[in-house]
Chains A and B, each alone.
Chain A
Amino acid sequence: MSASLEKGIKALKKEVDSTVGAFFSSCVNCGMCAEACLFYTESPCPARTPINKTEPLRRIWKQEYTLIGRIGKMLGLAKPVDHDFLEHWEKLVYDSCSLCGRCSMVCPVGIDITALIRKTREGLAAAGHAPEGLVGATKRAVTIGSPMGVKLPALMAQIKHVEKDTGLKIPMDQQGAEYMLLLSSMEIMNFPEFIEAIAKIFDKAGVSWTISSEAFEATNSGLQIGVSDIAAELVQRVVDAAEKLKVKTVISPECGHAYMAIRWDGPNLIGKAFNFKVRHILEVLDEFSKDGRLKITGKETQKLTYHDPCQISRRGGVIDQPRNLINLFAEDFVEMPEAGKMNWCCGAGGGVSSNERADELRLKVFQRKKDQLDVIKPDVIISACSNCRIHLEDGLEEYNMEIPLMSLTETLAEHLEE
C-alpha cells in the first residue's frame, strides 16, 4: 500500500461516474444533510456537514470532468488537491463519518452523500491519509486473514469449547453443505456464544452448514478504509472457499459492514457475479421461521427494543426480518423513535471504532442514541451487529445507563423448542 498524492488523485478519478456527476451537479448547499448526521447534531461544527466531507472528490470531478471546471483549471482558478488539503479532510472523512447512510435519505435533491464519502475515502487512503488504526487492521486482514489478528487456531480453540458445551459437532470444511457461515473476529473472540447459537438452531432446523478454515473472516477492513483492491482480495478469499466447498448460500454474521462487503459490494469488487447466494443470518433465520424450521417457545417479559445496524437496515435492506424474529419471543417490544430505515447510527460504524483518534467523538455522538433510548426506556436492547453491540455497551457505560445488550441470534437459540 505505498501511497502518494498522484495515486490519491488517480483513485479519486477512478471513482467518478455518472452518479457522481449527477449528485454534485444537483447540490444546492441547503445544509439539510447536517441535521441528518449525528456527527453534526451532537457536535455541531459546520465542517462536519455531510456534503462537505466529499470536497476532495468534488474538486476532482469539477476540475477534470466539467467543461467549466476545466476552463477554470486552465486559467489557474482551480482549488488545489494537495497533501495539506487531504490531510485536513482525513478527520472529516474517517473520524466524523460512520458511513451510516442517513444523510442520503434526507438530501432533498437526492444525493447519495454516503456513497460519495465512501468514494472519497478511496482517494484519501491511496494518498496515505487514512487513520493508523484502520491501516493496521487492514494490514492484519491481508497478512493474517483477520483485522483483529485472529488466526485459525484461535477459532479452533473456541469451536472446541462450543462442541464440548453443546455436544454438537461444528462442521468444518464440509463439501456440499447448504450454508457456509462467516464470522467476524469480534464474534470469535468476544461472543463465541454466537457460534453456539448457530450450531443449536441449524441442528434443530435440520440443515447442513459449514465453516471454511480458509475463509471464515467476514469483516472487510479494505472496504472500511477504502482500498478497493484489498477489499477485492478479501472478498475473493470467501468466493474461493465457497466455490471449493460448493455451498449454495454464504451467511454473513451479526456484523453490519461484513454484510455490506460480501452481499452488496463483493461481486462488484471482484468484477464477477457470485454463483452462490449471500444472506444475512437474520434473513436465513426468518426464512427458517417461515418454513416452520425454527420453533420458538417461551416469552421474554422485559421491555425490548431493537437497534438497527445501519449497514443491515438502511444500507442493507434487512429491516423487517429482525422484527419478525423478535416478535417470536417478545411480549413487550417497543420501537425507538425513527426506528427502521431512518434509525440513528450508534456512532462506531464505518471503521470509526478501529480508529482510536475518534474515540472521544464516537462517545460524544452516542448522545443521539441515548436520547432515543431515553424516550422508550427499554429493559434490554437487541442488535444484530457485534460492532454496534460493543459500542453500545461502551456508550451506555459512558453515560451511566444500565441496559443490557442481547444478540438476536443468541436469544433465539435460548428459546428453541426442545
Chain B
Amino acid sequence: MSEIEFLNWVRGPAFEIATVIFIAGVVIRILEIFLLGRKRNLAEAKGSEMSSGLRTIVSRSIPDKNTFKRSSFKIVSGYIFHLGLLVTIFFFAPHILLFKEVLGFSWPSLPTAIVDAFAAVSIITLIAVLIHRLRDNVLKFLSSTEDYLVWLLTILPLITGYIAFHRIGMSAPTLLAIHILSVELLLVAFPFTKLMHTFTLPIARWYNGAISGYRGVQS
C-alpha cells in the first residue's frame, strides 16, 4: 500500500467504520442507562427535581472554596486539558472543514497559533496528570488498566496532531494518516470506556441535583 493509498483508506473506510462504532456504541450505552428505569419518589417533595437537576449540571463545574483547596491540582489540570481538547478538536480550521463535510454546517475557527498553544499546553498537562496519577496514593489505588489506556488514547491524537501540523519526521501524508488513525482508535474505544463520561456526566449531575433538590437542598 502506498502512502497515499494508506491515507485514503484511513480517511475513507476506516473513518466510516470508526464513526459507526462510536455512534452506535454511545447510543447503546445511553439506552442501557435509561432502560434500567427509575422508581417514582413517593415522599412529599420539598423542591423541584427538574430545576435542581438542571442547576447541578452547571453548578457542579464550580467547586466550593474548600473543595478547591483540597483538590486544586486535580481541578486546575482537569480544566486545562478539557479546555485544550475542546479548542483543538472544535476550533482548529482543518477540523472545522471536516465537520462541515459531515454535518453540513460550520463555525468560525481560532487562529492556528492559538490552537497550537492550546495543544501544547494540553499535552504537557496530560503528562503532569499521568505523573500525578502514578504518585498519588488514592489514584494509584483506584486506577485500573482502563484508566491508563484512556489516558493514552486521549493524548495520542494531540501528540500525533501536533507532530503532523509541524511536519516533524516523516512525510506529510503519513503523519496525517497516523493522526487520523489515532483519532479512530479513540472513537472506537470511546463507548466502552470511561470516555463515556463526556455524555453521561450531564445525566449523573442531573440525578444528583434531582435527588438532593427533591429534599430541598441544592447540591
Contacts and interface: CB of A to CB of B under 8 A. Distances in A.
A111 B33 contact: no
Contacts of A264: 43, 215
B141 A49 contact: yes
Most chain A Cβ neighbours within 10 Å, of B33, B57, B66, B206: B33
A21 B209 contact: no
Question: Looking at chain B, what size class is its interface with the partner chain?
Answer: 35 or more
Contact of A263 (B39, B43, B64, B71): B43
Interface string B173-188: 0000000000000000
A360 interface: no
Interface stretch (B89-97, B118-126, B164-172, B193-201): B193-201
A217 interface: no
B204 A278 contact: no
Interface string A259-280: 0000111111001111001100
Contact of B67 (A22, A32, A268, A341): A32
A17 B200 CA distance: 14
Interface in B4-49: 28-29, 32-39, 41-44, 46-47
Given A21-B33, A109-B204, A49 B142 contact: yes
B215 A316 contact: yes
Interface stretch (A4-12, A64-72, A403-411): A64-72
Contacts of B140: 46
Contacts of B42: 267-268, 271-273
13 contacts: A18-B33, A18-B36, A22-B203, A65-B32, A104-B208, A104-B212, A108-B61, A109-B204, A110-B60, A110-B209, A264-B215, A319-B217, A341-B218
Interface SS of chain B: helix
B139 interface: yes
A338 B65 CA distance: 9
Interface string A91-118: 0000000000000111111111001000
Interface string A166-189: 000000000000000000000000
A17 B138 contact: no
Contact of B71 (A35, A44, A104): A35
Contact of B141 (A46, A109, A277, A313): A46
Contacts of A213: none
Given A316-B215, A317-B46, A29 B34 contact: no
A337 B67 CA distance: 13
Contact of A268 (B41, B46, B60): B41
Contacts of A268: 39, 41-43
A36 interface: yes
Interface string B136-156: 111111111001000000000
A46 B138 contact: yes
B44 A108 contact: no
B133 to A, nearest CB: 8
Interface string B57-81: 1001101101100110011001000
A136 interface: no
B200 A278 contact: no
Nearest to B207: A19
